[in-house]
């Protein structure tokens, strides 16, 4: 089996906060978000054998307690299942960073008990496909390579969240904020209200607002946009806190802070 592989971070403390993890990055993604930081992963494929990636996990060192699969979009690839199984055989926790577009594969991992935590991007309110189209680079907002409709994307995200929530797994829902693209007070209210209405297992769910760094964006016109500063992020965190118990903001200046 081939893996569309982008790289490995042998020891990360940022991809699953509170755990030392080996992070495997995959190439390709069904979306073309204009603010994407890892857009180099969307270019040429980097196919390697499954055993090569297993060795990356196995050789990550004695201090690692988790394997995180990120990208790109890891759930695009069938290889995610045997890789998660291999990580579990090594006694590692498994975390998945996903845009939520592949609920069937998420469900397979849950059913086979191969995942401990999902980190799911909630790019816009799942009940607002029009805004999702803008933030995910669909149609007239992107380069035409997004093959899913906004309605399909939003429905898939909602289903992936439902799958993780129903299994009582740890769940981090996160929204990356980019000035004038996504992150107004009204938009955060809309997202937080949707989460409040649709996620039942609040004890294991945290909502994170992430400070986008436009200078590294896929879309060149965003690269000169000024990032939201910490105070603006905290104010938006307070907005989300009006709907949800566990809210954090994540900024370059001050790292992760509970609101």
Strands, E assignment, 132-184: 170-177
Give the other-Cβ count within 10 Å of 102's Cβ.
20
Q: Which residues pair with 182 in a beta bridge?
A: 178
Residue 259 pLDDT greater than 80, yes or no? yes
Helix axes 103-111, 150-166, angle to 10 degrees: 10
Residue 61 pLDDT greater than 90, yes or no? no
Residue 62 pLDDT greater than 90, yes or no? no
pLDDT of res. 44? 83
Q: Mean of the pLDDT values across residues 151-167? A: 97
CA nearest to 73, candidates 35, 112, 106:
106
Q: Mean of the pLDDT values across residues 222-240? A: 96
Residue 239 in contact with residue 198, Cβ under 8 Å? no
Averaged confidence pLDDT in the chain = 95
Six-digit token pair at 255? 């790292």
pLDDT of res. 192? 98
Q: Mean of the pLDDT values across residues 123-131? A: 96
pLDDT of res. 236? 98
pLDDT of res. 147? 78
The C-alpha atoms of residue 240 and residue 235 are separated, in whole angstroms, by 9
pLDDT of res. 178? 97
Percent of the chain at pLDDT > 90 equals: 92
The C-alpha atoms of residue 100 and residue 259 are separated, in whole angstroms, by 25
DSSP letter at 1?
-
pLDDT of res. 43? 80
Q: What is the CATH number of the domain that holds 164?
A: 3.20.20.70
CA nearest to 169, candidates 195, 209, 200:
200
Q: Domain tally for the chain?
A: 1
Strands, E assignment, the chain: 2-12, 21-26, 47-49, 66-70, 93-98, 117-121, 170-177, 205-211, 247-251, 255-258
Residue 139 pLDDT greater than 80, yes or no? no
> What is the extent of the structural domain holding 185?
2-258
3-state helix, strand, coil in the chain (%, to 5): 40, 25, 40
The C-alpha atoms of residue 115 and residue 81 are separated, in whole angstroms, by 10
Q: Mean of the pLDDT values across residues 200-215? A: 95
Q: Mean of the pLDDT values across residues 74-89? A: 97
**Torsion angle defined by CA atoms of residues 44, 50, 52 and 54, in that order, rounded to the nearest 10 degrees:** 130
Q: Mean of the pLDDT values across residues 192-198? A: 98
pLDDT of res. 59? 94
């Amino acid at each position: 089996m081939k893996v569309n592989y982008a790289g490995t971070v042998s020891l990360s403390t940022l991809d699953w906060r509170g755990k030392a993890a080996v992070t495997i990055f995959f190439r390709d993604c069904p979306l073309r978000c204009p603010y994407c930081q890892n857009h180099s992963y969307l270019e040429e494929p980097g196919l390697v054998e499954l055993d090569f990636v297993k060795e990356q996990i196995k050789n990550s060192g004695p201090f690692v307690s988790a394997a995180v699969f990120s990208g790109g979009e890891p759930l695009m690839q069938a290889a995610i299942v045997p890789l998660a199984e291999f990580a579990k055989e090594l006694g590692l926790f498994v975390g998945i960073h996903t845009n939520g577009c592949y609920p069937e594969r998420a469900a397979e991992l849950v059913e086979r008990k191969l995942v401990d935590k999902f980190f799911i991007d909630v790019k816009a309110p799942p009940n607002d496909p029009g805004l999702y189209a803008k933030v995910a680079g669909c149609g007239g907002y992107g380069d035409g390579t997004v093959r899913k409709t906004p309605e399909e994307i939003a429905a898939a995200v909602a289903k992936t969240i439902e799958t993780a929530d129903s299994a009582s797994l740890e769940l981090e829902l996160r929204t990356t904020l980019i000035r004038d693209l996504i992150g107004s007070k009204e938009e955060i209210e809309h997202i937080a209200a949707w989460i409040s209405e649709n996620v039942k297992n609040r004890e294991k769910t945290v909502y994170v607002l992430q400070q986008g760094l436009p200078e590294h964006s896929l879309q060149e016109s965003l690269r000169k946009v000024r990032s939201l500063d910490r105070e603006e992020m905290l104010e938006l965190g307070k907005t989300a806190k009006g709907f949800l118990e566990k809210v954090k903001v994540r900024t370059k200046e001050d790292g992760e802070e509970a609101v």
